[in-house]
Amino acid sequence: MDTTYQWLARFAQSAGLLYFVGIFLSVCLYAFWPSNKARFEEASRTPLQDD
């Protein structure tokens, strides 16, 4: 029983690590993708615009 718990705990930790690394890399790719540059520059100027 104890070895099954340890195996499941180790598997969950590894899967969680891979999941969060994948999410981090996806966000970085989205943020640094060249076609998104204009969208982010426009969003950065939004607080300075007078309506």
Beta carbons of 36 and 30 less than 8 angstroms apart: yes
Give the torsion sign (CA, 12, 14, 20, 22).
Answer: negative
Q: Give the pLDDT score at 37.
A: 92
pTM exceeds 0.75 for this model: no
Distance from C-alpha of 37 to C-alpha of 35, rounded to nearest angstrom: 6
Question: Model confidence over 1-51: pLDDT tens digits?
Answer: 568 999 999 999 999 999 999 999 999 999 999 999 999 999 999 888 876
Write down the domain spans for the chain: 19-46
- Which amino acid is residue 51, in one-letter code? D
Q: For residues 19, 24, 27 and 31, what is the CA-based torsion angle, rounded to 10 degrees?
A: -160
Distance from C-alpha of 4 to C-alpha of 9, rounded to nearest angstrom: 9
